[in-house]
């Protein structure tokens, strides 16, 4: 049985990820978030779940929560100090496997008219690129998910992987598909290890996402 901690367990992706991990893995799951005890009451009595109130800007909180875990999932990889703290806590506690939900464009890899639209929408990428570099240079067995623009659609679990170094043209992907990918990685921890991967919905190579 794997022990998996979700850092940012109240995020928009996590609310889909928690039930899928419960249904499709045999993991013991730790939910970590600010005021998690008050915000995740529906899981309070679940024997497969532990809930920890904490702040990933606080290294002491992270050291306590990450100790003994097998896999760490971060709900966002956009913050430099938070990334540094998570990497430090993982190394302090000899935990190697990390999954990070991040965004596209950190390598200027978004192509064509979609790339131009994405650049206008996102603005200055400087701090996001620096935050991603903390993960890239961590030496951990990480998978950094460079997700295209997110939307919700029940039962749409279609995703396509774009390896690092290849242009990203897929404009969108569902949160449900991202959750399926994360669950696949939890079930096979060697999957996409030590890689930064683009995550897109197949056949969405448009000028911008369909919902804009």
Cβ pair 43, 49 in contact under 8 A: yes
pLDDT at 108: 94
Choosing among 3.40.50.720, 3.40.640.10, 3.30.450.20, 3.40.50.1220, the CATH entry for 3-200 is: 3.40.50.720
In residues, how long is the chain?
212
How do the domains of the chain map onto residue ranges? 3-200
Q: Give the residue ranges of DSSP H helices in the chain.
A: 14-24, 36-39, 59-66, 80-92, 112-122, 126-136, 175-187
What is the three-class DSSP state of 90?
helix
Q: Render each residue's pLDDT in the chain as its tens digit; 212 residues.
A: 899 999 999 999 999 999 999 999 999 999 999 999 999 999 999 999 999 999 999 999 999 999 999 999 999 999 999 999 999 999 999 999 999 999 999 999 999 999 999 999 999 989 999 999 999 999 999 999 999 999 999 999 999 999 999 999 999 999 999 999 999 999 999 999 999 999 999 999 999 999 99
What's the first-to-final CA gap in the chain, in angstroms? 42
Question: How many other CB atoms sit within 10 Å of the CB of residue 46?
Answer: 14
């Amino acid at each position: 049985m794997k022990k998996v901690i979700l850092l940012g367990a109240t995020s928009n992706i996590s609310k889909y990820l928690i039930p899928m991990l419960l249904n499709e893995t045999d993991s013991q799951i730790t939910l970590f978030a600010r005021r998690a005890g008050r915000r995740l009451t529906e899981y309070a009595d679940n024997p497969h779940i532990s809930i920890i109130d904490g702040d990933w800007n606080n290294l002491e909180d992270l050291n306590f929560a990450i100790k003994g875990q097998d896999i760490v999932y971060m709900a966002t990889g956009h913050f430099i100090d938070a990334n540094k703290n998570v990497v430090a806590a993982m190394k302090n506690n000899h935990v190697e496997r990390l999954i990070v939900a991040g965004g596209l464009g950190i390598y200027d890899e978004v192509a064509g008219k979609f790339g131009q639209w994405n650049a206008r929408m996102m603005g200055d990428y400087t701090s996001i690129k620096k935050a991603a570099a903390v993960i890239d240079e961590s030496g951990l067995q990480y998978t950094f998910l460079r997700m295209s623009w997110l939307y919700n659609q029940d039962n749409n679990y279609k995703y396509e992987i774009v390896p690092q170094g290849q242009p990203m043209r897929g404009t969108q992907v569902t949160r449900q598909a991202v959750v399926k990918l994360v669950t696949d990685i939890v079930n096979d921890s060697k999957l996409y290890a030590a890689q930064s991967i683009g995550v897109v919905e197949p056949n969405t190579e448009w000028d911008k996402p369909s919902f804009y």
